[in-house]
Structure 1
Amino acid sequence: MKKILVSMSIITAAAVTMLLFVYCDSRTSRNTKTTAGPDESKSQPEKVPEKQTKPATKPVPQVAAVDPCKAFKKINENTDLSSYTTVQLEEICKCGTVKACSRAGRLFALKENNYYNTGKMIKYLNLSCDKGVWEDCHFLGTVSEKGFDNLVPDLPKARILYKSSCEKGKLEKSCFQYHSLVFATAKNPADTYNYFSKKCREKQGESCMYMGRMLSEGRGVKRDRKEALKVFKKWCESGHHEGCIWQGKLHEEDGFHARAFQLYKDACTAAEGLGCLFGGNLLVEGKKLKKDPRRAAEMYTTGCEKGENNCCNVLGKMYQKGIDGDKPDFNLSVKFFEKSCQGRIMESCRLLAYIYETGRGVEQNFKRAGLLYDMACVMGEPIACANLGYLYEKGFGVKPDPVKAFKLYEMSCKKGEMTACNNLGHMYHSGVAVKSDSVKAFGLFEKACKSGHLPACQNVARLYELGEGVTKDLKKAVALYKKNCIALEMASCNSLAEMYKTGTGLKLDKRMAYDYYKKACFGNFAQGCTNLAMSYYLGRGTAKNVKKAIRYFEKACNAGEVTACFNLGKIYEKGRGGIKVDNKKALELYEKACRLGDSESCRMTTEKKGK
């Protein structure tokens, strides 16, 4: 409306009069009352309207259809296309020049260009590949094998592309990549053994590695470790350090660790990163060699610098824990995880995500953690999927989405990640994002427990105690709680204390309850500390000691245990146990408990602020 008013301000006075006339006329036609305009002091007699005649129309001349390819008719497969833009190349490609499709696809693959576009890269390279540009088929095979930016690896597709450019395009590098993938994915690839055997005789070094490995593992050929050792040794002696590495690997498997280490060390010195990795592993394990984690770290560092990303990953883990008694170095840990994650070691991406999630050594960043978990999950890392599910369940760094969390837990559980199975069990038990089903919950808890996941065993015991999803069996519950507590699952120690305190499934024994609460608390289980504090506060199973009660309430509250914060607030409000009344401190504690979800604390907060 504002634009119309501005334009009207520059219209001539006559035009304004005409506009007003038309406006009033249109209003009259809608039976509305209007006032006379400034030049209409007398009413004008009505005139008979003249007959309206339509102007004669002239036939529209027919325009011939424009041929979009006319401008490119002189362009053919021999034309130099280096000066053409991607827009022009797309048009030329549509007009049938395959070379333009290939050129466009390659330009769209360049990340440093403003027109980088993976979707268009795939589209145009597929067109050129289909028309027999075998180099593009090979390039697409590499993209499918290794992944590319946001594209997930697709090994079956990579095999098809490599095979096509190998057999039809006679590209030797495609043949090698095809058989390398067959080696990695097929159980008994006889044709692949024959291919590598032929290429090894032609002194193609890496083929000798595959040939030797197939002989040593009995894949595609009868197993023959002696022959494999000969292949590796010959390859090593001809100056190929990769051959030395695999020769060392056979010696290691046969128990000759010193001999293997020397071969690994020589290969590592010659800048073969895999030799650094295998040599470092022997020094860390220290089975038949003296354990030397510092020397191992030196070998891993060399390997990492030479591009062996698995060495970077191991270094990240070593610095995260601290090398040989040293304090953890999270800065170095992050540095090495970053490098190996960029090298598509998905364990590194997941471990890096966990550092950002917990804020250990870096500023806590749930969003960054979520992105890293997501990348690792998409690339097939089941633990990353479970951890990403947890972020969605709790709404850390992302909008809470229980349905998405459920799907991620389910996917991860199917891949054998027991934390995910346990979390999925919780969702079935509580009816979050799925219909409540205690039987399914018990089944998932039991599955995870049988795989050694202690929190799941705690949940199995709890359901036996309650009789939910399974027949109530207090003896089984007690037995599981005891077994778990011995294995240092502190939640089970706390549950066992509860059973002693109430005499459920066990003889009532307040002293035993106190002992198990103490064990749970000293094992950093926050609820155990709250219960231990109550034991001291009430003198239950031990001598009454309010000062100790306050100490353990504080420990539990600092760990986010809501009941401890509430109880501590009461103590400061009432001034118990030698503590002076401190309403300000009490309010702070009630506010914290309120933020943690305690409705009674929220009521107390409102009440105190209103005074």
Structure 2
Amino acid sequence: MFARRPVFSLHLVIWTATLALCLTFASTTFAEDSEDTSAPTCADDEIFDPVPGDCRYTFSIRYTSRDTLPAMIEACEERESMLACASWSVWAWRRGGWEKVSERAGQLCEERCNAGDPAGCGCLAHLVGTGSAGFERDRQRGSDLAQQSCAGGVGWGCNMARTLHNDTVSSDRERRVDDALRTYERGCLLGDPSSCANLGFFAGHTTRGGDTLTEHIARTYFQEGCEKHIGWACGVYGEMLYLGMGGDTNVEEGIAFNRRGCALGDPMSCKRLGDLYLGSTELSLPSDYQLALEYFGYACDSRDARACHLWATIADLAFPDLEPPTRLEEAYKIACFRGRSESCVALSNLYLSARKDWPAQPEAARSPLERSCRRHADDSCVAYGHLVEQGIGGEVDLNVALEAYERACQNGEPKGCQWAGALVMHEEPERAFEIFTEGCDRGVGNSCNWLALWLETHASPEDQRYILGLHQRACDLDEPRGCFDLALIYETGRGEFEANPPLAMKHMAGACRLNDPIACVHLGRYLLDGVNNNLSWDERAVPLLTSICVNALPHRRDMHRASTLSCRWLAQSHADRGLHSQALDIAQRGCDLRDADSCALAAELLKAENFEPVTRHDATTYEAKACDYGDLSYCSDVTDGQTE
């Protein structure tokens, strides 16, 4: 799946080489003793897993990869292992039914349970609780069967009871926690290592024996679970190591244990690594988007919605030629259908884009947004409204568009109010006024800002002070666009308000502090222009724009756009000052981010007489990129160069 073609990293290369040497050494050393290279014989409750090269407790494999699935199925259907059947059921359920559990497995579990075997009831519990193997889903009955299995002395049945725990058992949170702790304690006493590992989550609570579980004890439970090849326990233990919870801090070991958890098939360990490689200021870790892409890919293999979204976003923006659009589509679909509305928006945008071997499919763009809008009433409603309003992928229907915008607005999405008012602004200006006013009265900063924009086209000049006050109110309500628009007003002056560059800078800095990356770039532009004359060009402007230029954060599209702008303006500023070598480096960086203006500047710098080395081929390459990224003025130049 998404980890099928990982971006190889140094640690994987070293690990692979070391493993190869170890295997070579082992085969040479022990050849005389034995010619048997088959997997070791495992106990009845174990299955051989080629990842750690060892037998693993079967119930711990319910989170792992496909490598052990054939052995798990064989143990279930041929050896009639109830533990293997139950693990297979959980495995398939967690992956959205990629591998459906056979009716044969269901019949075995049901027959054994009816015959009084508590292990059979433990297996049947999950099949019934999730509606697998032909059973009608009945979560309460599944939970009851698991409790029956636990009471009958099956340790993993106790664990299953918690997996299927129904919150309606008790509305008292403390009671639920206490019930869970007691169940895992029993499972642990009955020999289930997964139950023992789960006890680590109850730090601060009192055990049946009256002892308090400290973070240090919790850390020990997770460590012991990891030693039993329980992937998620390795990951949690690693997290406690690099955060210094329950003992000394060890970042390197913490990361290593998460790698082990990921290798053992735990999607949370993989996702945790992906987040770390996006860059962690807390742990002083630099970003490494190749490794982030790799580990989010592993987590996406387990159908983790957030991991799939981040994998596709990073692949699309940071490594645009690495993955075909069909793979991005698959990842966004998983995340979208599992409830991430931003993935539905990204999937729709993918359908609207035309790429190599991928024609635009506007007719497919509406469906994911419409479904998400019905479920979430957030920015997916706004995106859906845009398509319906503009007739993209279907007929124009302004009423449906307005309904989608208002649905988002009523659910607290500021852009919904914005576009609902914008839609009726010309045809029904009074209604737009009411929408914006209502939102502003509710304290929605975005609505206050749009009310100001509405008044700019409908009010008299003497209302300018009131309009300015609305922008200020929006800014005070932490709406970055309100601060941004105030800055633009004071940048050039408007009506009775004269240009005031220092005040413009103050408000643009406010928008930047409110996490508007485009505002941060404009703040850099003010510094380039010497607004306020506080410090020289290279003391403030260059460091600010450079930091934005080189940190594109591909998982955030707004930051990606900010990076392209900062690279473009910074490169041009260096070129204007005659610093052509630095300008070329920055322009090339902007071109790598698919900014046509940066590509064009790089081409012009390469053709300049005073720049060395100069090759016509290099300049033509950047002209071609400028053309590809939208600067049509360079398309004819490329054609002419190829003709020559």
Category of TM-score, reference length = shorter chain: 0.5 to 0.7
In the alignment, what sits opposite 1:459?
383
In the alignment, what sits opposite 1:35?
none
Distance in 1 separating the partners of 2:403 and 2:486: 25
Are the structure 2 counterparts of residues 302 and 467 from structure 1 closer, same or farther at C-alpha, using a change threshold of 3 Å?
same
Distance in 1 separating the partners of 2:455 and 2:161: 63
Q: 2:488 aligns with which of 493, 511, 534?
A: 534
In the alignment, what sits opposite 2:436?
none
Distance in 1 separating the partners of 2:189 and 2:121: 22
Are the structure 2 counterparts of residues 268 and 444 from structure 1 closer, same or farther at C-alpha, using a change threshold of 3 Å?
same
In the alignment, what sits opposite 2:521?
565
Asked if the contact 2:231–2:260 (Cα under 8 Å) also holds between the matched residues in 1, the reply is yes
Asked if the contact 1:247–1:260 (Cα under 8 Å) also holds between the matched residues in 2, the reply is no
Deviation for aligned residue 1:353:
0.8
In the alignment, what sits opposite 1:370?
293
Deviation for aligned residue 1:261:
3.3
Query: How many equivalent pairs are there?
Result: 461
The reply to whether residue 502 of structure 1 matches residue 457 of structure 2 is: no
Are the structure 2 counterparts of residues 280 and 389 from structure 1 closer, same or farther at C-alpha, using a change threshold of 3 Å?
same
Are the structure 2 counterparts of residues 218 and 603 from structure 1 closer, same or farther at C-alpha, using a change threshold of 3 Å?
closer
Distance in 1 separating the partners of 2:353 and 2:403: 23
Q: 1:346 aligns with which of 264, 267, 285?
A: 267
**Paired amino acid for 2:521:** C
Counterpart secondary structure, 1:364: coil
Deviation for aligned residue 1:181:
3.5
Asked if the contact 1:271–1:303 (Cα under 8 Å) also holds between the matched residues in 2, the reply is no
Deviation for aligned residue 1:274:
3.6
1:217-258 Cα offsets, whole Å, 9 max, x none, are 99999997899589546633xxx6556666788798744644
Asked if the contact 1:533–1:553 (Cα under 8 Å) also holds between the matched residues in 2, the reply is yes
**Paired amino acid for 1:193:** C
**Paired amino acid for 1:447:** R
* Map 1:205-354 → 2, pairs under 5 A: 206=119, 209-210=122-123, 228=145, 231-232=148-149, 235-236=152-153, 241-242=155-156, 254-255=169-170, 257=176, 258=178, 261-265=181-185, 267-268=187-188, 272-276=192-196, 298-299=217-218, 301-307=220-226, 308-311=230-233, 313=235, 334=255, 337-354=258-275
1:86-131 Cα offsets, whole Å, 9 max, x none, are xxxxxxxxxxxxxxxxxxxxxxx999413999xxxxxxxxxx99xx
Deviation for aligned residue 1:356:
0.6
**Paired amino acid for 1:531:** D
Distance in 1 separating the partners of 2:231 and 2:169: 27
Counterpart secondary structure, 1:451: helix
Asked if the contact 1:276–1:299 (Cα under 8 Å) also holds between the matched residues in 2, the reply is no
1:498-523 Cα offsets, whole Å, 9 max, x none, are 63343299966734751575267x36
**Paired amino acid for 1:356:** Y
Are the structure 2 counterparts of residues 555 and 177 from structure 1 closer, same or farther at C-alpha, using a change threshold of 3 Å?
same
**Bigger RCO of structures 1 and 2 (CA < 8 A, at least 6 apart):** 2
**Paired amino acid for 1:343:** L
Distance in 2 separating the partners of 1:516 and 1:285: 47
Distance in 2 separating the partners of 1:316 and 1:177: 28
Distance in 1 separating the partners of 2:194 and 2:353: 48
Deviation for aligned residue 1:338:
3.6
Q: 1:606 aligns with which of 551, 570, 575?
A: 575
| TM-score with structure 1 setting the length | 0.55
**Paired amino acid for 2:225:** K
Asked if the contact 1:279–1:296 (Cα under 8 Å) also holds between the matched residues in 2, the reply is no
Deviation for aligned residue 1:349:
0.5
Asked if the contact 1:424–1:444 (Cα under 8 Å) also holds between the matched residues in 2, the reply is yes
1:552-598 Cα offsets, whole Å, 9 max, x none, are 4346668683565346434653x54x535845458738975888334
In the alignment, what sits opposite 1:103?
none
**Paired amino acid for 1:565:** V
Q: 2:372 aligns with which of 439, 445, 448?
A: 448
Asked if the contact 1:152–1:379 (Cα under 8 Å) also holds between the matched residues in 2, the reply is no
In the alignment, what sits opposite 1:105?
none
Are the structure 2 counterparts of residues 415 and 225 from structure 1 closer, same or farther at C-alpha, using a change threshold of 3 Å?
closer
User: In angstroms, what is the RMSD of aligned CA positions?
Assistant: 6.0
Asked if the contact 1:402–1:432 (Cα under 8 Å) also holds between the matched residues in 2, the reply is no
The reply to whether residue 479 of structure 1 matches residue 401 of structure 2 is: no
Distance in 1 separating the partners of 2:397 and 2:129: 53
Are the structure 2 counterparts of residues 175 and 143 from structure 1 closer, same or farther at C-alpha, using a change threshold of 3 Å?
farther
Q: 2:564 aligns with which of 597, 600, 610?
A: 597
Unaligned segments of structure 1, at least 5 residues = 1-108, 118-127, 167-171
Q: Which one has a bigger Cα radius of gyration?
A: 1
Deviation for aligned residue 1:390:
1.4
| TM-score with structure 2 setting the length | 0.53
